[in-house]
Structure 1
Amino acid sequence: MTTTSDSGAEALREHLAMLARYNLWATRRLLDAVDAVPEADYRRDLGLYFRSIHGTLNHLLVAEHRLWSARFNDGTTPPMRLDEELESDRARLRQRLLDGAEAWLPLIAGWPAARFGGRLDYLRLAGGTVSLPFAATLAHVFNHATHHRGQISAALTTLGRPAPELDLVYLLQAEAVR
């Protein structure tokens, strides 16, 4: 088992807390832009991996807030499909995504520093156990969301709508001003 020094574990915590803040900030900005999309366009098959903006947002709810959250919180993998529609109502989906993104912040702050240098053991959806570096796997969760926000941003521009600026550096600049 690889161990990380106390200062290294704290640096990992700080980095992951920044990624969690970014995830919340970018999700909020994206959802603000999506709010202006008419219902028909919001649900239209736009050729995204999860077809529509709605399907992609539901995938984020499934993956980040149901699957990965359970793995990090209690080591379980709930049975599910990655294309499952957990929330059909657009406003409730929006709120659940924001609540879920916000929930990572106190988790990261509350985990013991040593956990960041440890491993995450879980059961894959297809079966079989996996043991991965805890911090890198948590970073994956936020990176995965970035990937799908990029798909939705491209869909917005395809629809002739403005896509928000979601680069991490803009969050960092805003935080530096505060």
Structure 2
Amino acid sequence: MNPVTHFTQLARYNQWATARLLDAVAAVAEADYRRDLGLFFKSIHGTLNHLLVGEHLLWFRRFDEGVSPKLALDAELEQDRVALAERLQAGAARWTPLIASWPAERFDGTLNYTTMRGMPASLPFAATLAHVFNHGTHHRGQITAALTALGQLCPELDLVYFLQTEVTAP
């Protein structure tokens, strides 16, 4: 498979899964949404803020602009849950056109960036981009587990369900 095709598909999946998760999270009571549920970033809100920081404000900028902003991975950049959901959806929508703009050869290269500790790093481009989408899947999984523990309905977020929607789409 062409890497542009593969990674734009992962970006579309990321956007689809983010939207489905945020729809489910919208039904959670405010107290439960902000409560420490034992997640790595404590609450659903904290985990969603981490996704905003990591996926959209850190990794996206590394891939798009070649810069590594200094951000705390647990920063609460958006206190309002509706605004946070909007920023996450808008951020997820930015990946597909970015990836589609790269030539296939770019995926065989490296991504040079600065780590959170200020150290220069150089990693395989395609594998590091895969990390971005895997990271989102990991944290969405944490949130769905929290939703289940709260007795909330949980959406199916497996990639195969997304692929089925793409096959059956008109």
TM-score of the superposed pair, with normalisation by structure 1: 0.93
**2:150 counterpart (142, 153, 159):** 159
Instruction: Indicate whether 1:16 and 2:4 are aligned.
Output: no
Say yes or no: does 1:47 pair with 2:42. Answer: no
Cα deviation, 1:106-134, whole Å, max 9, x if unaligned, reads: 00111122211111000101121111111
How many residues of Structure 1 are paired with residues of Structure 2 in the alignment?
A: 169
1:115-134 alignment to 2 at 5 Å?
115-134=106-125
Could you tell me which of 71, 88, 93 is aligned with 2:79? 88
Runs of 4+ aligned structure 1 residues displaced above 2 Å come to none
Aligned AA (2:149): T
Alpha-carbon distance between aligned partners in 2 of 1:146 and 1:31, rounded to the nearest angstrom: 13
| Deviation at residue 166 of structure 1 after TM alignment | 0.4
Give structure 1 stretches of 5+ with no counterpart: 1-7
Within 5 Å, give how 1:56-67 maps onto structure 2: 56-67=47-58
Q: Which residue of 2 aligns with 1:4?
A: none
Amino acid at match of 1:80: L
Q: How many Å apart are 1:70 and its aligned residue?
A: 1.1
Kindly, what percent of the aligned residue pairs are identical? 65
- 8 A Cα contact 2:4 2:103, kept in partner: no
Encode CA deviations 1:57-107: one digit per residue, 9 max, x unaligned. Answer: 000000000000111012111011000011001110000000000000100
Alpha-carbon distance in structure 1 between the residues aligned to 2:103 and 2:80:
37
- RMSD of aligned Cα (Å): 0.9
Q: Which ranges in structure 2 are unaligned for 5 or more consecutive residues? A: none
Q: Could you tell which deviates more after superposition, 107-116 or 16-25?
A: 107-116
Normalised to the residue count of structure 2, the TM-score between the two structures is: 0.97
